[in-house]
A = this chain, B = another copy of it.
Amino acid sequence: MRKALAEAELALHEGEIPIGAVVVCKDRIIARAHNLTETLTDVTAHAEMQAITMAANELGGKYLTDCTLYVTVEPCPMCAGAIGWAQVPRIIYGAADPKRGFREYAPRVLHPKAESKGGILEEECRQLMQDFFKSRR
């Protein structure tokens, strides 16, 4: 999660909503990404989406069945849908997102056997988001 937070900080410096994601496969980081929706002018360029695409590219296969996704904020329904399609079995996130998160809006889109767990480095993940939105006001 520290590496995902480092990615989120990169996003912050680029004027992006500071969310970072990392995919780990067999103790090795195979993808790291941060939100690039402003830079790419593309709502689909969330950290998780890019990390999933990168990880599949690295592994040479669509399914990430041996992977863990770390992301600094609870995934939105779009990202959770992608995580479900990729059959990621383990999702670890930092800050909860009750207003936009998948648990409220799409609770059944992850793979049925997937586990998700939040609250890891929660305070730091949330603080980055708060700092960003405060600076925008």
For chain A residues 104-133, which have a beta carbon within 8 Å of chain B? 105-106, 108-109
Interface string of A31-58 (1 = CB under 8 A from B): 0000001100111100001001100110
> Is A76 an interface residue when CB atoms closer than 8 A count as contact?
yes
Q: Knowing A77-B109, A81-B77 touch, does A44 contact B37 (C-beta < 8 A)? A: no
Give the interface size class of chain A.
20 to 34
Q: Which of B44, B57, B81, B108 contacts A76 (CB 8 A)?
A: B81
Q: Knowing A105-B106, A106-B105 touch, does A43 contact B78 (C-beta < 8 A)? A: no
> Is A95 an interface residue when CB atoms closer than 8 A count as contact?
no
Q: Which of B43, B84, B105 contacts A108 (CB 8 A)?
A: B105
Query: Within 8 Å CB of A84, what residues of B?
Result: 77-78
Q: Knowing A106-B106, A106-B109, A108-B105 touch, does A49 contact B44 (C-beta < 8 A)? A: yes
20 A–B contacts, CB within 8 A, in A order: A38-B62, A41-B61, A42-B56, A42-B57, A42-B62, A43-B63, A43-B85, A44-B49, A44-B52, A76-B81, A77-B77, A77-B80, A77-B81, A77-B106, A78-B78, A78-B79, A78-B84, A81-B81, A105-B106, A105-B109
A residues whose Cβ falls under 8 Å from a Cβ of B: 37-38, 41-44, 49, 52-53, 56-57, 60-63, 76-82, 84-86, 105-106, 108-109
